[in-house]
Amino acid sequence: MPFTRAEPLVQIFNLIVLINHRVLLSISLLVIMMCPKLWGQHKNEIVATLDGPTNQIRIRQHFTYVNQSDKGLSTLYFNDWNHAYSNKNTALAKRFAEEFNRSLHLAKDRERGKTTIKTIVDDNYAGLDWKREGNSDIISVTLNEVLKPHESIQLFFTYTIKLPSAKFTGYGRTDNLGYNLQDWYLTPAVFDGDWKLYNNINLDDLYTDITETRINFTFPERLFLASNYRMSSISNFPGGQHVQLIGDKRKNCEIILTIDKRFTKHVTDYLTITTDIESNKYEEISQGISIIKIAQFLHENLGGYPHDNLLVSEFDYNRSPLYGISQLPSFIRPYEEQFQFEMKFLKTAIRNYLKESLYLDPRKERWVNDAIGYYLMIKYVEEHYPDQKLIGKLSKIWGLKNFHLAKMDFNEQYSLFSMLSARKNIDQALTTSNDSLIKFNQKIANGYKAGLGMSYLSAYLGEKKIDSTVLDFFKNYKQKQFVSAADFRKTIEKYADKEVDWFFEEYVSTDKKIDFKIKKVEKTEDSITFVLKNKRGTKVPISVFGLENDSVVSQYWFSDIDTTESFTIPRKSEDRLVLNYDQKIPEFNQRDNWKTLNGWLSSNKKLKFQFFKDTEDPYYNQVFYVPIANFNLYDGITPGLRLYNKTFLERQFQYDISPTYSFLERTFVGKVGFRYRKYHKKTGLYVTNYSFSASSSHFQENSRFSTLTPSVSFGWRPEDLLSNRRQYLLLRYRSVFRSIDDNLVGELDTDPDYSVMNVRYTDVDNNILNYSSWSVDAQHSSEFTKLAFELEYRKLFQSNRQLNVRFYAGKFLRNKTESNFFSFALDRPTDYMYDLAYLGRSEDSGLYSQQVIIAEGGFKSKLENPFANDWIATTNASTNIWRWIEAYGDLGFIKNKGDNARFVYDSGIRLNLVTDYFELYFPVYSNRGWEIAQNDYGQRIRFVVTISPRTLIGLFTRKWF
């Protein structure tokens, strides 16, 4: 096969390698033919050359495929995950869009990756037909003859891969002229009776068959190479380097190329580790000691590593870090350097140790590796850092040490983060396919829940039994093909001396919540009788601890509790009974987990006022307070105090009381809200909210408005939890009370007090590529009845041009009013429902009047007679000119009673800096003519601004939930 674009010396070198490779291959085939029992594993021989200037790898791949099934195969499938970066329609690009990431959609061609296959031939050098399946990163190869069971075929691939920019997922060419290569060449898809064809969607879960792999890799000079494979030889030649990488019974080969020699090799008594994880503030010798300690821990708790080298890289850690407080900037890291280094190294080492040894289906049965991995992390901290607090050194700082968060142990974070998902009703069963998990569950919650489950089993069965299970499972199933979760279950049952069906059928396979309560306690001199209530009906064991002055004096396990059951235990010196005291069980609500034995009065929880939000403390009724400051033109800056009960975990009942003081009006304003949220199920009608809110503020000088609003809302979501579509039905009754300054009484053209019944249905699909929403809003009061429809659509086209279209139509079914206060508006609604966040709601001139909120007509120009007391129909549209600079146009009709319908329009330039949060509008032409030529043009510029922290935070959290 001809060499292209290579220097003469490189051509000669590669030719020698190829000749030696063919000779060795012939010998290998002869040995295999003479010893048929050795035949049974795929052979993969690769010659690859990385061309630095073009960021391409030219590959010649000789693959010997063995049909290990009992079925004849006429088509073979191979993973080509590098091609997932090739265009905007791959599964990877669509996954990015679901997570509000437009980087791959907007990427330039030079930043994309792709695979160009030149030829695929069989061992008779006959060309084979092939095609791309599904979303482009899987190819199917049609054989000329059926491959019979236990027979083999040799395939020869010639192709070139163009590496993507590492900015998308971390894989590919990096900004510092290095390369991170993983899942980069063609690998065989798994066939176990059915083909396992999984697309690359940035989940690090390639499922490929085991192979004996030899890679002759040529790469540019002045680069340093690290790999999870064994390097048999490395040599230099003018303009480049060559290395042979060997993997026996391995999956894919990972290669990291850097411009500096950052990787060091640690040869321990247990295994050899290559790593670039380090800490500038932790001595190099001490780092080596920590690595030896971790290597020993892994060897003792998992068994011998089956390969020559374990790669533990900073790159792998960044792909799956320790989420939470450990991700704070280095200058405020709360942990000692040794602990921080060891946890970072341990997390990455365990992950790769298991991934490179246990070949389960990582997409369908990822939870097994998670269960073992996080269990070992919990165990490591319990053994080596039993007193480590969750927020580390910060727990000793005045002002923080009284927080319940400061008192939590480091390992309690697993329950905290997994319960964060459960409280939001977005938790998913551990058996959920990896590609069906929402991002928060995929990255954090499900892994934590799996590790907690093993810790739960350890507490229930005994630590030695679970430790023996892990050792046995790793020893007997490492490097075996078609390992499954069923094998893991058999191993647990082998060592269990109690029934553990509940663990797999309730804890692992469902998203059922665990929640128990002690209902009542009766005591005698020598016994304690109490009733346990299973509030959720999830039949799992529950632990009961007897405490005396916060010291454990007794512990019991109870199981098979359907609803309620009474138990009697011997009385020692207990003064309190506590469920799940050691936090081994991820229980939904721990606020009712204890009962005192000292009488009814002492059982009442004390009220605890605490600055800022905290984690739940089950022994107190917590009330949080925090200073706040709001702003509007008439009240000015209004400082105040917010009182609320919302912890880091969501609660069913929440209150939020925010009294503030208006210095301009010299009076109190503010708001108060009460809400009860009831989750029903994951999909369909999934939530009901009951709420009551009240607010008071000023809408002009010495003129106050107050609102009272009882409401109920219902929410629906589709079967696919990854979908961003939601549907809501809101029913509310808003009562408005106004007190008017004496100087403005004659200017008020409506009754000061009124009430409106409002029903609104909304259907929104919040997708970054194709956003759509529509709503129907009906309002009824004693003065009017009106109906409105709104439709909004945003689309990002293949050309990267974005189109925004909005349509609004409203009609009065009845209107007895004589003013425009309740009328439809073109550009600045009067907001008689007080829903909109106007900074100066009554202004008709000056800067505050230039604030625009896209509602009702949605116009940006201030036109004459902008109100309609009969009907209105408008369309707003915009499209980008360059990046965030857009052209916009609005047009429509408005109709007042007794008048003909009037055609209105405007147009201009929009600076779409952050959609819906910060935008500027520069009018150009409208019914008023060339606005840009007017002397008062500066007063015609409009702006959109959002200053609500809660709304802004939603920009960053939406991709996780």
540 neighbors 505 (Cβ within 8 angstroms): no
DSSP secondary structure, 247-264, as one string: EEEE----EEEESS---E
Residues 6+ apart with CB under 8 A from 889: 876, 877, 878, 905, 906, 907
Tokens of 417: 């983060």
For residue 633, being part of any structural domain is answered with no
**Is 50 exceeded by the pLDDT of residue 23?**
no
What are the pLDDT digits (tens) for 634-647? 999 999 999 999 99
Band (pLDDT 50/70/90 cuts) for residue 664 is very high
Cβ atoms of residues 431 and 951 within 8 Å? no
In a domain, 609, yes or no: no
CB atoms within 10 A of CB 592: 16
Predicted pLDDT at 20: 46
% helix / strand / coil in the chain, to the nearest 5?
25, 40, 35
Average pLDDT in the chain: 90
Which of the pair, 596 or 835, is modelled with greater confidence? Answer: 835
- Assign residue 464 the CATH number of its domain: 1.10.390.10
Asked whether the predicted pLDDT for residue 604 surpasses 80, the reply is no
Bridge-based pairing of strands 264-267 and 255-258 is: unpaired
What per-residue confidence (pLDDT) applies to 907? Answer: 97
Q: Render pLDDT for 817-868 as a digit per residue (tens, 0 to 9).
A: 989 999 999 999 999 999 998 989 888 888 999 999 999 999 999 999 999 9
Q: Give the pLDDT confidence score for residue 133 in this predicted structure.
A: 80
Q: Is residue 640 part of a domain?
A: no
Residue 932 pLDDT > 70: yes
pLDDT band at 21 (very low <50, low <70, confident <90, very high): very low
Core vs surface per residue 36-68: b (16+ CB within 10 A) or e: eeebebbbbbbbbbbbbeebbbbbbbbbbbbbb
**pLDDT over 70 for what percent of the chain?**
92
Question: What pLDDT is stored for residue 953 in this prediction?
Answer: 64
Residue 616 resides in a domain:
no
In a domain, 780, yes or no: yes
Q: Are residues 148 and 234 in the same domain?
A: yes
pLDDT at 743: 73
Q: Could you tell me which residues are beta bridge partners of residue 277?
A: none
Is residue 481 domain-shared with residue 532, that is, in the same domain? no
* Tokens describing residue 421: 């998902």
Q: Which residues have CB under 8 Å from 493's CB, separation 6+?
A: 500
Q: Using CA atoms, how far apart are residues 113 and 84, in angstroms rounded to an integer?
A: 7
The predicted structure's pLDDT at residue 470: 97
Burial class (CB in 10 A: 0-12, 13-18, 19+), 281: exposed
Both 489 and 395 in a single domain? yes
Q: Please, which residues have CB within 8 angstroms of residue 204's CB and are 6 or more apart in sequence?
A: 319, 320, 362
Query: Are the beta carbons of 870 and 895 closer than 8 angstroms?
Result: yes
Instruction: Report the SS3 class of residue 431.
Output: coil
Task: Tell me the Cα Rg of the chain.
Answer: 33
Q: State yes or no: pLDDT of 76 exceeds 50.
A: yes
| pLDDT at residue 4 is higher than 60 | no
Do the domain assignments include residue 343?
Answer: no
Last residue of a domain, which of 578, 604, 630? Answer: 604
Q: C-alpha dihedral over 368, 369, 375, 377, to 10 degrees?
A: -170
pLDDT digits (tens, 9 = 90+) for 125-173: 899 999 998 768 999 999 999 999 999 999 999 999 999 999 999 999 9
pLDDT at 745: 64
The pair phi, psi for residue 658, each rounded to 5°, is -130, 80
Asked whether residue 189 falls in the same domain as residue 113, the answer is yes
578: CATH: 2.60.40.10
Q: State yes or no: pLDDT of 6 exceeds 50.
A: no
Cβ 622 vs Cβ 614: under 8 Å:
yes
**16 pLDDT more than 60:** no
Rounded Cα distance between 664 and 698, Å, is 10
Cα separation, 102 vs 217, whole angstroms:
34
Assess whether 478 and 377 both reside in one domain: yes
pLDDT of residue 645: 94
Residue 683 belongs to domain spanning: 651-957
Closest CA to 249 of 178, 308, 325, 311: 308
Q: What is the DSSP string of 753-805?
A: -EEEEEEEEEEEE--SSEEEEEEEEEEE-SSEEEEEEEEEEEEE-TTS-EEEE
pLDDT in tens, 462-496: 999 999 999 999 999 999 989 999 999 999 999 99
**Cβ contact 289:295 at 8 Å:** no
Q: Which tokens in the block code for residue 852?
A: 């625009």
51-65, 285-299, 520-534, range with the lowest pLDDT: 520-534
Total domains present in the chain: 4
Alpha carbon distance 918, 943 (integer Å): 7
- Which residue reads 């009551």 in tokens? 692
Confidence of residue 549 (pLDDT cuts 50, 70, 90): confident
Beta strands in 571-682 (DSSP E): 576-579, 594-596, 606-611, 620-632, 636-644, 653-662, 667-679
pLDDT tens digits, residue range 748-800? 667 889 999 999 999 999 988 899 999 999 999 999 999 999 999 999 888 88
Beta bridge partners of 611: 625
Confidence (pLDDT) at 15: 45
For the purposes of burial, counting CB atoms within 10 Å of the CB of 94, is it exposed (0-12), middle (13-18) or buried (19 or more)? middle
- CA-based nearest residue to 113, from 95, 141, 93: 93
- List pLDDT tens digits, range 382-402: 999 999 999 998 888 888 888
| Residue 552, pLDDT above cutoff 50 | yes
- Domain check: are 504 and 549 in the same one? no
- The answer on 678 and 568 residing in a single domain is no
Instruction: From 604, 635, 670, give the residue that closes a domain.
Output: 604
Same domain, yes or no: 48 and 142: yes
Asked whether the predicted pLDDT for residue 600 surpasses 70, the reply is no
Cβ contacts of 440 within 8 Å, gap of 6 or more: 420, 421, 426, 960, 961
254: tokens are 């990972």
β-pairing, 224-227 vs 211-220, is unpaired
Long-range own/partner contacts, residues 643-649 (CB < 8 A, 24 or more apart): 646/613, 647/613, 647/614, 647/615, 647/616, 647/622, 648/405, 648/416, 648/420, 648/613, 648/614, 648/615, 648/616, 649/416, 649/419, 649/420, 649/423, 649/615, 649/616
Confidence of residue 949 (pLDDT cuts 50, 70, 90): low
Decide: 696 and 670 in contact? Cβ < 8 Å. Answer: yes
What number is the average pLDDT over the span 176-189? 96
The answer to whether 805 and 784 are in contact (CB under 8 A) is no
More confidently predicted of 555 and 591: 555
Q: Which of 237, 262, 287 is the last residue of a domain?
A: 262
Query: What's the burial of 791, exposed, middle or buried (CB within 10 Å: 0-12/13-18/19+)?
Result: middle
936 and 817 both lie in a single domain: yes
State the pLDDT at residue 960.
75
The DSSP 8-state label assigned to residue 504 in this structure reads I
Same domain, 142 and 79: yes
Which CATH number do you get for residue 195? 2.60.40.1730
Name the residue with tokens 């689309």: 795
Tell me the Ramachandran region of residue 136: left when phi exceeds 0, alpha when psi lies from -120 to 50, beta otherwise: left
Q: Are residues 569 and 717 in the same domain?
A: no
Count of beta carbons in the 10 Å neighbourhood of residue 848:
16
Co-location of 678 and 760 in the same domain: yes
Is residue 433 situated within a structural domain? yes
CA proximity to 441, closest of 722, 101, 98 = 722
Query: Minimal CA–CA distance to 453: which of 407, 510, 403, 410?
Result: 510
CATH number of the domain encompassing residue 782 = 2.40.160
- Kind plus residue range of the DSSP H or E element containing 174: none
| Each residue's pLDDT tens digit, 861-917 | 999 999 999 999 999 999 999 888 999 999 999 999 999 999 999 999 999 888 777
In this structure, is residue 136 part of a structural domain?
Answer: yes
**Rounded Cα distance, 319 and 254, in Å:** 14
Note whether 786 and 815 are within 8 A (CB): yes
| Number of residues assigned to the chain | 961
Backbone angles phi, psi at 490, to 5 degrees: -60, -40
733-750 pLDDT, tens digit per residue, is: 999 999 888 776 666 667
